[in-house]
Structure formats: C-alpha cells, structure tokens
Amino acid sequence: MDNKWNKKNALLMVIYVVLYVVMTVIVCVLGSVHPFFFVCYQITAGLIVTGVAAKAFDKVRAPGAACCLSLGMILTFLAMQDANMWHCLPVVIIAVLAEIVRFMFKYNSVSNMIAAVIMSFSSFGYYGQIWFNRDYTYKCAVEEMPVGYAESLMNLSPAWAFPVVIIIGIALAFVNYNITKKLFKFDLYR
C-alpha cells in the first residue's frame, strides 16, 4: 500500500473501522459479563483491539488512518446515544497521539506498532471512570447491572489496580501486535 489515500485504501479503512468498532464493543460486552472483565478492559483490549489497528496501519500507511478508527468509535457512541466527554475525549486523544507517532516515524513498522498499542485504549472512557469517577461508576452499575455487580466492581478496582491493568494491557498489546505481524506477514520494508 502507498502512503497516499486512494479508493483501495479508503475501502480497506472502512473495513478496518468496522472491525475496530466491533472488537471494542466485544471488549465492552465482556465487561458486562463480570466486574473483573470491566476492571480488565485494557487487558482485554490489548488482546482483541490491537491486532485490528495493527493490520489497518500496515495496509493504510496514509495520514489519518488512526483518526478514521477513532471517528468510527465516535459515530458508534453517537448511534448508541452514549457520546459524552468521558467516552469521546480519550478516543480523540489516542487518535492524535497515534497520528503524531506515525508521522514522526514516517509511517514505518515501529510507528505502526506504537500507534496500534495507543489505539488499544479505545475503551478507556468506560473503564477509566472506575478510578477517576468512582461515584458515577458505582451509581451506573447499581442502576444498570445485576444486584451485587456494583459492589464487586468497587472491590475489584482498588487504586493500585489501575497501573497494573495499564501495564499488563500495554504489554499484551505489544505481544498481540507481534503475533498479528507474524500471522498476517506485514510488509516490514515500507
């Protein structure tokens, strides 16, 4: 693929946006199964979301690919009537960071790896609130989830768990990137 937008890149990007959104939704749905998975969103995202972003960046080396992935998330938030600053702002920030990294390293494989890991934070607006907006998270869990879920969620998310979840999530995202690279034979010489 070239570093310029064309019809083929645009079509590929649409496919990758849909996959990226679907994988992020799967991460979120797992969080509703048990509070442990909610607390571990970033770990699950590192395992599930990173590969899609990695392949998207390998195939579409043009500027704006990360923004397309994040735009897909924002449109999904709007469609779900769940677009708020907690959900949208992190998605915008990760897109900007990923685009900066990809530009700085001239869209090479190192930049794509770092950007794919950054893009794995697509669900941060949901799970970040466990630590940064605890009262709201507890209130929502009481209203929306089965009895006992809110208490379990709070018990499973002490302050020390946040950096642990982030570090493990990032490490697994790098592992996932490398597995995806080997399975799908990325073009490393571009």
pLDDT per residue rounded down to tens, the chain (190 residues):
567 899 999 999 999 999 999 999 999 999 889 999 999 999 999 999 999 999 999 999 899 999 999 999 999 999 999 999 999 999 999 999 999 999 999 999 899 999 999 999 998 988 899 999 999 999 999 999 999 999 999 999 999 999 999 999 999 999 999 999 889 887 655 5
Query: Can you give the residue ranges of every domain in the chain?
Result: 7-183
The pTM for the full model equals 0.91
What value, to the nearest 5°, has the Cα angle with vertex 53 and ends 99 and 14? 90
